[in-house]
Every structure is written in C-alpha cells, then in structure tokens.
Amino acid sequence: MTSDDRPVLIYTTFPSLEDAKRVGDALVAARLAACVNMFPGMVAIYEWKGAREVADEVTMIIKTRASLTEAVLEETKRLHPYELPALLVLPTEGGSAEYCGWILRETGG
C-alpha cells in the first residue's frame, strides 16, 4: 500500500444529525469516503466571536484515503452549515489489510 493509499480519518462536527447525514451521504455517493460514522449527543463548549458557547453537536468521522484528503476537506467545507467547520485529518497506523482494502475499493481504488 502506498502512502497515498493509506487510510485517513477526518474529524468534523455538525449542528444536527440531519446536516451530518446530508453531508455524509454526499461524500459516500461521490466515492470520497468509504464510510462516515455519526455520533449524536456530543456537547461542545467553546469561544466564538467573543462569547462562550455551549452547543449540542454531532461528531462525524470520515473514512477515506490520503490522496483524497484535500477533495474531502473542500467538499465538506462547501456543504457544511458552519462558517468555520472543525476539520482535522487523523493519519492512521496499520489496520486490517481487508478493511484497508475495502476503503480503497469504495473510494475508487
């Protein structure tokens, strides 16, 4: 497996499960992601534009390959309802060869 083919996980959050499903479905349909996992029920506390915020959010983990990282980030930003979405790329180390192969196949490899 080349470094461009290695799986990466992209972390983001959404204001609602509906928003997360809409973006996740678009990423999988475009073969930019093999799978997205959504975790409703997260509470975020943060500073935004000078005010302390407390918000319910949905966490999403996007499973893709390294070579698609920029395309996934761009498409997620384009579809995301937040002005400044949280987008963090998490490299992986190892994993099941079968599962990593599935990610490659599902993302056009």
The fold of the 7-106 domain, in CATH, is: Alpha-Beta Plaits (3.30.70)
- Burial tier of 58 (Cβ tally within 10 Å: 0-12, 13-18, 19+): buried
How much of the chain, in percent, has pLDDT values that exceed 70? 98
What are the residue ranges spanned by the domains of the chain? 7-106
Q: What is the pLDDT of residues 52-67, one digit of tens each?
A: 999 999 999 999 999 9
Q: Which amino acid is at 44?
A: A
Q: Is the pLDDT of residue 5 over 90?
A: no
Distance CA 109, CA 92 (A): 18
pTM reported for the whole predicted model:
0.94
